[in-house]
Amino acid sequence: MDLLNDMILRMDKNAARLFKMYSGNGDAENQRKDFYLFDNIRRLGEKYDDEKVFKKLYAGSDKNAYYRLKGRLLSDISRSVFLHQHQNNDNMLCFYYTGLAYYYQNLNAPKIALYFFKKGEEKAREIENYGLLDIIYSQITKISREIPSINPELYIKKRQENRTLLNRLSEVEDILAVFEYKMNANQYLAGTSTPIPELLENMLNEYTRDEELKQSPKVQFGIYFIVSHILLQNKNYPGLTEYLSSTYDSFSEKKFFNKSNHQHKLQMLAWMANAAFQYHDYQLSLKYAEMLHEEMQAFEKIHYDLFELFYHNIKVLNYSKINPDKAIELLQSMNKIKSVQQNAYYAAFTLLNLAEMYYKQKNFKQAILNLNKAYGHEGYKSIDSYVQLRAAIGELMIRFDMKEYEFIEYRIKQIFKDYKEFLARPEAAKEVEFMQLIQKAAENPGILRKPEFRAETRKYLETYGSEWTKEEVLFRYNEWLEMKM
């Protein structure tokens, strides 16, 4: 995807609104073109056609002007994002303070520059950004020539201590790089009876005997990320849950968690909730979800928005298995959630999930009602085309159960037309063959009892049986066919 498109599609409603306010002045004609381009990319998502917009804005005559427009839009978005988001991101805030310090240093205003360098130092120390600290100490030492009250020896000493930390950090990165390589190369954690903590301790001892370094938060967090990703890739959900739980308890006991790495704590709890769900321990998953929600309140809800949707979604997934009525109730209340209100994509996807839940409850009228709402929602256009296809095929399943057989024949033709390119690919065979089966059944519902059709259905289920273990997606055709069998 084009860089500009990717940046625009990652903006929520609030970020888009702030960008429009930031870019509201300037040349009116070009500004309208900027906004037209911006709005088209946001509205159409992956279906955005660069050539069509170029022809609309410049009548297909001046490609250079169009490229300049895109370049200007990218620059405006970049400045808007930095302006409005730097207070919410510790690293961005560090560079904001440091950038201001350089600005005033160039204006020959050393006292103002010193103020902002010290603000940058405070934040950089808090988040352990030792590379930036080295630059800050170097610049303050230079400023000491112009401000006699500054003792350069103090900052020279700080810089030396910081360089020691930088060297240790390099050693940490070396350890983690070798650690990750060896784990992947030797396929550690797969088929071993050795407890994971003991296995990791043995491996770590191969690289360093420095106990302080081995127990440092940097090393421990690095190992946590590596091991978690490997367990996740192997789909070892019981092992992942056990490892995350013990690691979470260990990190809490050692007081590793703080404001600067609070996002890691929330991510760990989110992974724990998801892993427990994946191996069907729904009550444990809900327990971790509530722990996540409690921690989301900490530090004045610093990362609340990042995890809000996940929290509600994991609850819906669990209740969809153990209490479908509760899942529907939760989905109906999703429109009150800030992240859903600000993102049309999430709102449309919520409607699709509601449609599926009603379908599973055999409330077919409500299922169709919510599907139609999703089709007409502004966010539906930005949903992945394969998900849209799944929704359309889900509608065929619902219409069949409603005995609307004539509608199915018409709708299948429409689906083959709308998704012509994808359905022509080999990987779409599962969808094509299923629609052929449901079309046969719609043309003659009695065929469901015929041995020939049952044999064809069994063959389909056997051929694509492994496909359904890979995904947690909308409308599973295999389950529908199994019920008909």
pLDDT in tens, the chain (485 residues): 589 988 988 888 888 888 988 887 555 545 578 898 999 888 887 778 888 888 888 887 778 888 899 999 999 999 999 998 888 888 899 999 999 999 999 999 999 999 999 999 999 988 778 889 999 999 999 999 999 999 999 999 999 988 887 887 777 777 767 766 766 655 555 555 556 666 666 666 666 666 666 677 877 888 888 888 878 877 788 888 888 999 999 999 999 998 878 999 999 999 999 999 988 999 999 999 999 999 999 998 988 988 999 999 999 999 999 999 999 999 999 888 877 877 788 889 899 999 999 999 999 999 999 999 999 998 888 888 889 999 999 999 999 999 999 999 899 999 999 999 999 999 889 999 999 999 999 999 989 889 999 999 999 989 887 776 555 568 888 888 888 87
| In a shared domain, residues 99 and 131 | yes
Please state whether 426 falls in left (phi above 0), alpha (psi between -120 and 50) or beta: alpha
Of 45, 67, 88, at which residue does a domain stop?
88
pLDDT for the residue numbered 24: 75
With respect to residue 24, please indicate whether it lies within any of the assigned structural domains.
yes
| In a shared domain, residues 19 and 76 | yes
Contact 298, 262 (CB under 8 A): yes
Q: Could you list the residue range(s) of the whole structural domain that residue 77 is in?
A: 3-88
pLDDT for the residue numbered 418: 93
Question: Residue 52 is encoded by which pair of tokens?
Answer: 């069509």
| In a shared domain, residues 136 and 117 | yes
Of 36, 71, 88, at which residue does a domain stop?
88
| In a shared domain, residues 48 and 122 | no
| In a shared domain, residues 78 and 99 | no
The Cα angle at residue 423 between residues 45 and 436, in degrees rounded to 5: 135
| In a shared domain, residues 7 and 81 | yes
Contact 231, 243 (CB under 8 A): yes
| In a shared domain, residues 18 and 43 | yes
- What string of H, E and C letters represents the secondary structure of 267-279? HHHHHHHHHHHHC
pLDDT for the residue numbered 188: 52
| In a shared domain, residues 77 and 135 | no
With respect to residue 274, please indicate whether it lies within any of the assigned structural domains.
no
With respect to residue 78, please indicate whether it lies within any of the assigned structural domains.
yes
Of 103, 134, 150, at which residue does a domain stop?
150
pLDDT for the residue numbered 341: 77
Domain count, the chain: 2
pLDDT for the residue numbered 369: 96
The Cα angle at residue 400 between residues 318 and 435, in degrees rounded to 5: 90
With respect to residue 84, please indicate whether it lies within any of the assigned structural domains.
yes
Half-sphere exposure of 155 (CA within 13 A, CB side): 21
| In a shared domain, residues 67 and 138 | no
pLDDT for the residue numbered 168: 74
Q: Tokens 């999930």 label which residue?
A: 353
| In a shared domain, residues 116 and 78 | no
pLDDT for the residue numbered 212: 66
With respect to residue 80, please indicate whether it lies within any of the assigned structural domains.
yes
pLDDT for the residue numbered 325: 94
Instruction: Measure the N-to-C terminal CA separation of the chain; round to a whole number of Å.
Output: 43
Question: Residue 419 is encoded by which pair of tokens?
Answer: 């998704």
With respect to residue 111, please indicate whether it lies within any of the assigned structural domains.
yes
| In a shared domain, residues 57 and 111 | no
pLDDT for the residue numbered 106: 94
With respect to residue 425, please indicate whether it lies within any of the assigned structural domains.
no
Rounded Cα–Cα distance for residues 416 and 439 (Å): 12
- What string of H, E and C letters represents the secondary structure of 401-414? HCCCHHHHHHHHHH
| In a shared domain, residues 7 and 78 | yes
With respect to residue 98, please indicate whether it lies within any of the assigned structural domains.
yes
